[in-house]
Amino acid sequence: MPTPAILITGVSSGIGLVTALDLIDRGYYVYGSLRGTEVPVELAEAPNFTPLNFDVRDREAISAGISRIGEEGRPLIGVVNNAGVAIPGPVETLAEEEYRRQFEVNVFGLIAVCQLALPLLHAAREEGHHPRIVNISSVSGSLTAPYMTFYSSSKFAVEALTDGLRRELLPFGIDVVSVAPGPTKTPIWRKGSQLTEAFEKDRYQHLVPQLEPYTQAAERGGVEPQLVADAIYAALTDARPDAYALIMNKRWLARVVSKMPKRWQDRFLTKRYR
């Protein structure tokens, strides 16, 4: 019987890379999407890995990648929608191009991959497998910190898409769950911290010096990506996985804050900027 396969988007770094290596270690065949043609060394050397060249914003390329999975004949038993970007900036001043990119990747890209991969997931299910879709969300999918509002907004949308798709696929037995990391030791915010243009407008200039220390603190207080990879593995394999797994240090605090009145949250989440 062919080795069951899992598709992970965005495996060039961070959570995607660590998860791909982890799942290969655990005996899966992994298809990993990358935007460029450069495959990280660890993956290039792995036996059960095929890189797929696509940007999740490019539906035709996704379609070509997924056709390849179909042709190779391994049952696709999981999709991990990991590819994502994090764009900081005030709502008032962030360029349209930037906030659109936030949704193009995190929301429309995720929908496109789901739509194009679902025929293979249905096929695997018809062969008796229990296929899963795991969407990588964020603690920002349930709490909105200022100046990360668009990122948060895209992750709120991912939470709704996860719940909705799970409810729509319930009759077919394809499970859909979200794994929501808090700060993680990955380059996602480092990439974002270079985008300071939106802060350089009159009303928000005073925030510029706070951005870099903030990014550093988030990374320092972050969990290791391996912890997130473990949660993704559990989501793919547990008999009855959590429909929502929040992975962060002091996650009780995030849970409590998300249930507090909004005006109280406002004070809590704006504290560091005062």
Partner 1 sequence: MQDSILVTGVSSGIGLTTAAYLLRKGFFVYGSVRRGAGPEQLTASPSFKALNFDVRDRDGIRAGIQQIHDDGARLIGLVNNAGVAISGPIETVSEEEYRRQFEVNVFGLVAVCQEALPLLHASRELGFDSRIVNIGSVSGYLTSPFTSIYSASKFAVEALTDGLRRELLPFGIDVISVAPGPVKTPIWQKGREQTEAFDNDRYGSMLEKLGPYTEAAEADGVEPQVVAEAIYRALTDEQPDPAVLVMKKGWMAKLLKLTPKRFQDKFFTKRLAENRRY
* Residues identified as active-site: 151
* Piece of the chain touching partner 1 by CB under 8 A; list 6-14, 29-37, 97-105, 214-222: 97-105
Q: Does 145 bind partner 1 (CB under 8 A)?
A: yes
Residue nearer to partner 1 on the CB measure, 61 or 111: 111
Element (H, E) at 130: none
Smallest distance from the beta carbon of 148 to partner 1, in angstroms?
A: 7
22 binds partner 1 (CB under 8 A): no
| 242 touches 177 (CB < 8 A) | yes
Half-sphere exposure of 83 (CA within 13 A, CB side): 31
The structure tokens 């948060």 sit at: 152
> What tokens does 69 get?
């999975």
CB of 152 to partner 1, least distance (A): 4
Q: Are strands 76-81 and 244-247 parallel, antiparallel or unpaired?
A: unpaired
**Which regions of the chain does DSSP assign to beta strands (E)?**
5-8, 29-34, 49-53, 76-81, 132-136, 175-181, 244-247
Binding-residue pattern over the window 229 to 258 for partner 1, x denoting contact by CB under 8 A:
-------------xxx--------------
Size of the site for partner 1 (CB under 8 A): 56
For partner 1, which stretch binds (CB under 8 A), given 188-196, 220-228, 229-237, 259-267? 259-267
Nearer to partner 1 by Cβ, of 68 and 255: the residue is 255
Q: Reading across the β-sheet that carries 5-8, which strands appear in turn?
A: 49-53, 29-34, 5-8, 76-81, 132-136, 175-181, 244-247
Handedness of CA 102, 108, 111, 113 (dihedral sign): negative
Contact residues for partner 1 (CB under 8 A)?
A: 59, 90-93, 96, 99-100, 103, 107-108, 111-112, 114-115, 118, 122, 140, 144-150, 152-161, 163-170, 172, 203, 242-244, 259, 262-263, 265-266, 269-270, 273
